[in-house]
Structure 1
Amino acid sequence: METLALVVVVGAALLFTYTNGFHDAANAVATSISTRALTPRIAVAMAAFMNLVGAFLGQGVAETVAEGLIEAPTGERGMIILFSALVGAITWNLVAWWYGLPSSSSQALVGGLVGGALAGASTVHWGGVLTKVVLPMVLSPIIGLLLGFLVMVAILWLFRRAHPHRAQRGFRMAQTVSAAGMALGHGLQDAQKTMGVVTMALVIAEVSDEGDGIPAWVTVVCALMLSLGTYAGGWRIMRTLGRRIIELDPPRGFASESTAASVLYAASYVFNAPVSTTHVITAAIMGSGATRRISAVRWGVAKNIVAGWFVTMPAAGAVAALCYALVSLAIP
């Protein structure tokens, strides 16, 4: 029974990673597609490959998720908590994808973990949730917004005497590099979140001990599922990021992607913090777009996106708590 529970939880974790991939594929490539720097299929294939590579470049975020947020008990109850958390996160990802809302898979996962833990009367490390999740997720889009604005101001000043057509063509080519960097950062961040959950499941099932690190097979499988999900694409959300917030041109697309990628690398390597790739790229797009004029940003769309950020964690947590109650009733 415990083996079956472990298989089910790992399967749910991999399904979450897959939905994360197609839900967040837009983060890396929407700007490049909207500015016609890359064709959709080439952009998505490139993002899938870079997601795969990025998953192998660190483990700090995975360790934060596995050890720093909740303390689930070993055995059946711990497995139900993890399964419920994943159901909550997957449900929210699918709802956000259906409505084309670029919400955070990271927040959905954390919300699911907290909701499942509370429903199962388990320990939530509120200090870890605050310092490793809430504060970075609040600060990272603010930093992305400001840096996106400043980077675009610097580009406008440095290329103020450049021939407009040649400059546009040059930045369209440069977007290939910035989009690849963004996709690498997405793999570095988001694959590790599922790696952390799977590792937690192995500890709960007493297959491995806490402190053993992330098994190599976990890294490989999570990386592959994220990559496959990314290749499936998230076209609804791409339209929101690429067109509905602001009409992007290649320089602003490059500024947005390079800014967002830098924030993701800093969060992963300096702070080991699971931040939202969606929040960061959305904010960077707003910041770079605001250099055209403040009114150029469609703030009504932006307001709906920000509102979704505040709903994500409690919504995923509520679904996780409900799932825990239903599964607990179903299992004698």
Structure 2
Amino acid sequence: MEIVTLTVVLVIALALFFDFTNGFHDTANAMATPIATGALKPKTAVALAAVLNLIGALLSTEVAKTVSGGILHEDRIGGDIFPMLIFAGLVGAIFWNMLTWLLGLPSSSSHALFGGLLGATIVGIGFTAVNVGGVMSKIVLPALLSPLTAAVIAFLCTKLAYTTTRRYSKGPNGRDGFRIGQILTSSLVALAHGTNDAQKTMGIITLVLITVGWQSGAHHEPQLWVVLSCAFTIALGTYMGGWRIIRTLGKGLTEVKPAQGFSAETSTAATILASSALGFALSTTQVASGSVIGSGLGRRGSKVRWSTAGKIVVGWLLTLPAAGLVGGLAALIVVWMGPWGLLLDAVLAALVVGGLFLRSLKNQVGSDNAMSDVPAATSDVAESAKAVRLKKGARLRSKVRTDEAAAAEAAPAAADPATTADRKDENA
């Protein structure tokens, strides 16, 4: 019984750490575009996202039920070994989250979690424990459809936004009025992220509690303390800000203008909220990336950096197998060594995470340099337009003064025939 208790405690602790990495890994989904366009200051953006992630995590538990009871056959995952396998699966998920964060790659925390869990389960119990139908309908199918759906919606929204506001366009930064709208839409994305991603950790913890008999298997509703702990943890991670990934989504895929950002965030929020209501555990990162690409295609003259998009897609394709491979290796250690293997996995995971973090210090990306070349956020959009007009006026006045000085210098020489003759002699 003491071994079971220790295992459950370690699993819960690691699950909450994964929840934390999920938060800072996915902050970009909501706040990359408003930071890129200057609609929100970086630190203000991540603080707002953290609060809304917390609120969103308390609104629904449908996705948590999917995770705890939709992808594995419960009647085949009993015994003391399964909580250790969940621990191994979390090791795989955390490894992939940390690696892709270091690379600035907006991969899916959700698929990393599912990949690690499935890999560990297959190694420790067998493929028969996997609910293939649930995996296909709740994970694989949304993974294929959600970014495409979000891209199409963002494309259409961007076209509509530019068409309906063409006559009101001001300044080189596009429709600056959309910056105010971005505050609302990015907030909605952050809220939607909380309703989807925080629940995945709730589902993992609930699954462990059911497996060891600490919660009835008759229902998969997360307990209140599970909901609150996961909500606060993902909010804390979000507040830390995944600046490397914010930079990639905000400026790596396409140059984001306010109308594009507004459209991308609208598409992202609509897709995530709809999936949360249906219990689909989709990747909010894939949805956000698809929306940014769609908005880039929707603005005339905008260019999508397909090389970066290609790297992101490769990351998506590798997430499930890579996290599954690491989760499977961690599960092998547990199968061979039992509880001692659990402790060895914990030590190895700590060393890997620490090493990746130390590596990140060699090239730090923070709120001060993630978007160093974007316009500063203003509380009044009119101030931004006014600043643009003042800069144009200053440049025009400077050009006029330069032309006047050149004319004044040339006038005496032109008026003095002797000077002109002397210059002709010199040239001869």
* Structural RMSD (CA): 1.4
Aligned: 1:150 with 2:156:
yes
Aligned: 1:243 with 2:251:
yes
CA distance in 1, matches of 2:298, 2:149: 16
Aligned: 1:289 with 2:296:
yes
Q: Secondary structure at the match of 2:176?
A: helix
CA distance in 1, matches of 2:174, 2:34: 16
Amino acid at match of 2:181: A
Amino acid at match of 1:303: G
Aligned: 1:280 with 2:284:
no
CA distance in 1, matches of 2:136, 2:329: 24
- Offset of residue 75 of structure 1: 3.3
CA gap 1:295/1:250 in 2 versus in 1, 3 angstroms? closer
Q: Structure 2 unaligned segments of length 5 or more: list them.
A: 340-428
Aligned: 1:63 with 2:65:
yes
Q: Which residue of 1 aligns with 2:406?
A: none
Q: Secondary structure at the match of 1:296?
A: coil
Q: Output one character per residue of 1:179-200: Cα deviation in whole Å (capped at 9) or x when no partner.
A: 1000001101100111100100
Q: Structure 1 unaligned segments of length 5 or more: list them.
A: none
Q: Which residue of 1 aligns with 2:141?
A: 135
TM score, norm. by length of structure 2:
0.76
- Offset of residue 251 of structure 1: 0.6
Determine if contact 1:245/1:299 at 8 Å carries over to the other structure.
Answer: yes
Amino acid at match of 1:148: A
- Offset of residue 156 of structure 1: 1.2
CA distance in 1, matches of 2:73, 2:100: 28
Aligned: 1:101 with 2:105:
yes
CA distance in 1, matches of 2:164, 2:202: 42
Determine if contact 2:210/2:216 at 8 Å carries over to the other structure.
Answer: yes
TM score, norm. by length of structure 1:
0.97
Q: Secondary structure at the match of 1:154?
A: helix
Aligned: 1:259 with 2:267:
yes
Determine if contact 2:260/2:299 at 8 Å carries over to the other structure.
Answer: no
Determine if contact 1:34/1:242 at 8 Å carries over to the other structure.
Answer: yes
CA distance in 2, matches of 1:71, 1:293: 50
Q: Which residue of 2 aligns with 1:223?
A: 231
CA distance in 1, matches of 2:234, 2:322: 23
Amino acid at match of 1:20: N
Which of 187, 190, 214 is 2:197 aligned to? 190
Indicate the percent of aligned positions where both proteins have the same amino acid: 44
Which of 91, 98, 102 is 2:95 aligned to? 91
- Offset of residue 211 of structure 1: 3.0
Q: Which residue of 2 aligns with 1:52?
A: 54
Q: Secondary structure at the match of 1:164?
A: coil
Q: Output one character per residue of 1:291-331: Cα deviation in whole Å (capped at 9) or x when no partner.
A: 23487000110011001100000000000000001122222
Determine if contact 1:70/1:113 at 8 Å carries over to the other structure.
Answer: no
Higher relative CO (CA 8 A, sep ≥ 6), structure 1 or 2? Answer: 1
CA distance in 2, matches of 1:142, 1:108: 20
Q: Output one character per residue of 1:35-74: Cα deviation in whole Å (capped at 9) or x when no partner.
A: 0100000000000000000001111111000000013623
Aligned: 1:303 with 2:310:
yes
CA distance in 1, matches of 2:322, 2:64: 23
CA distance in 2, matches of 1:201, 1:155: 47
Q: Which residue of 1 aligns with 2:240?
A: 232
- Offset of residue 160 of structure 1: 1.7
How many residue pairs are counted as aligned between the two chains?
331
Determine if contact 1:74/1:206 at 8 Å carries over to the other structure.
Answer: no
Aligned: 1:81 with 2:94:
no
